Amino acid sequence: MGFPISMTVPAAFTAPLPAKADVVVIGGGVIGVMSAWQLAQRGLRVVLCEKGRVAGEQSSRNWGWVRQQGRDAAELPLMIEARQMWQTLAADCGEDLGYRETGVLYIANKPKDVARFEAFMALARQHALDTRMLTPDQVLAMLPGANPNWPGGLLGGLWTASDGRAEPWQAVPAMARAAVRAGVTIIEDCAVRSLDVTAGRVTGVVTEQGRIACDHAVLAGGAWSALFLGNLGLRIPQLSVLSTVAQTPPMPEIFPGGATDNTFAFRRRIDGGYSIAHYEFHEFFIGPDAFRNFRAFLPELRGSLFDRSYRPAAPAGYPDAWRTPRRWSPDAASPFEAMRILDPKPSKGALKIVQDRFASAFPALGRPEIACAWAGMIDTMPDVVPVIDHAAALPGLVVATGMCGHGFGIGPAVGRVVADLVTGRAPGHDLARFRMTRFGG
């Protein structure tokens, strides 16, 4: 159990296309689903269109962490709210989401890690989190059977007991079913090609199945958002990186929550296995947007140049592939119909590193077997925080994208904020850090 959703899974949401709605949400990941659900709870007629399957991309491919620890200062208040929402989500959905408050542990290999943890402690104290610094002995006490000569070094740790974990492929479809019960119309196999714009504002969306009249649209398209916006003449410097994850068979418990050092991460699963991944290593496909956004990403690139494998081209049909169209007509097939779900191949090299590091860290368990492996495309921004904002140049459009691999845990609160933006309510958080134009666009 517990692997990413793909197009081999039959469509579960097949409602007919309505002629009219108050809001159309574009994208069926956790951000889109939670935005739609929150909007329906405000009494609006909401349609969610998904080109492939709900949670088919990063929303079923992530690590499944629900963490406050290590968040950006602007993200943390949102994540604190999201964690509170996670505590009642299973009851709200009427289904088990796999959510457990089992804590998150960061392991310090080097002095710079300790410095980073100490810097976060100041933020944690400001928000009254239960985060605390650990000594090396305290870290080892949390990890039964761990190698006392921890590979890479062990200088201490950072621990937040109230952080948690959930099963992405289980949780997000359950949220979607709850949204439908709240009145949301969800349609899979229904790509939104473009927006219908009249007198400079949104008056509808054009899908492959036809037009839906609406006054508001929410773009929660993940890795596809920049491509969609570019066709409208709007720009954001968003790129995507590939991350590989694997699932082990059931094995003895070494830690009940999620943990990571500088090389590998592991997270207990409800099926008794672990999700394991390389912590820092990503693969990056070079395409037109990579050149266009090079200057914006240069500061981040300087600090992590060697943490990636660079590929000269993305597979055909990917958002930043060389031959992917950048312009198309609403009455013609779009790139979103050509590639229903991004399903990249996992990196065998990254998996080998993770297996080797795991075996070194837990010698009594040895090299973990791989029950299955997958990869996902993480949509990221130059400053590694998302866009959550009105599109000022196109009234009626709200954009929520670039979650930078953080979207699963924070998704419930982002959905609530998006609903407030659409309905004109005060969002309750300072969103200046998330503005769409912060890069000068």
The 3-state DSSP class for residue 177 equals helix
Give pLDDT tens digits for 149-180: 999 999 999 999 999 999 999 999 999 999 99
Give pLDDT tens digits for 86-108: 999 999 999 999 999 999 999 99
**Right CATH for 23-434 from 1.10.3720.10, 1.10.10.350, 3.50.50.60, 1.10.150.120:** 3.50.50.60
Q: What is the mean pLDDT of residues 258-263?
A: 96
pLDDT for the residue 441:
58
Strand partners, 202: 197
Give pLDDT tens digits for 281-297: 789 999 999 999 988 98
**Confidence band for 304, pLDDT divided at 50, 70 and 90:** low
pLDDT for the residue 1:
54
Q: What is the mean pLDDT of residues 353-370?
A: 96
**Confidence band for 301, pLDDT divided at 50, 70 and 90:** low
Q: How many Å apart are CA 315 and CA 76, to the nearest integer?
A: 35
Whether the pLDDT of residue 397 is over 60: the answer is yes
pLDDT for the residue 305:
47
Q: Are 324 and 335 in contact (CB under 8 A)?
A: yes
Q: Are 78 and 410 in contact (CB under 8 A)?
A: yes
Domain ranges of the chain: 23-434
Mean pLDDT score across all residues of the chain: 95
Provide the percentage of residues in the chain whose pLDDT is more than 70.
98
Whether the pLDDT of residue 252 is over 60: the answer is yes
Whether the pLDDT of residue 187 is over 80: the answer is yes
pLDDT for the residue 308:
65
Lowest pLDDT segment from 47-56, 146-155, 294-303, 425-434:
294-303
**Confidence band for 306, pLDDT divided at 50, 70 and 90:** very low
Q: How many Å apart are CA 119 and CA 112, to the nearest integer?
A: 11
Q: What is the mean pLDDT of residues 116-132?
A: 98
Q: Residue 235's closest CA among 181, 278, 190, 289?
A: 289
Whether the pLDDT of residue 20 is over 90: the answer is yes
Q: Are 146 and 138 in contact (CB under 8 A)?
A: no
Give the amino acid at 257: G
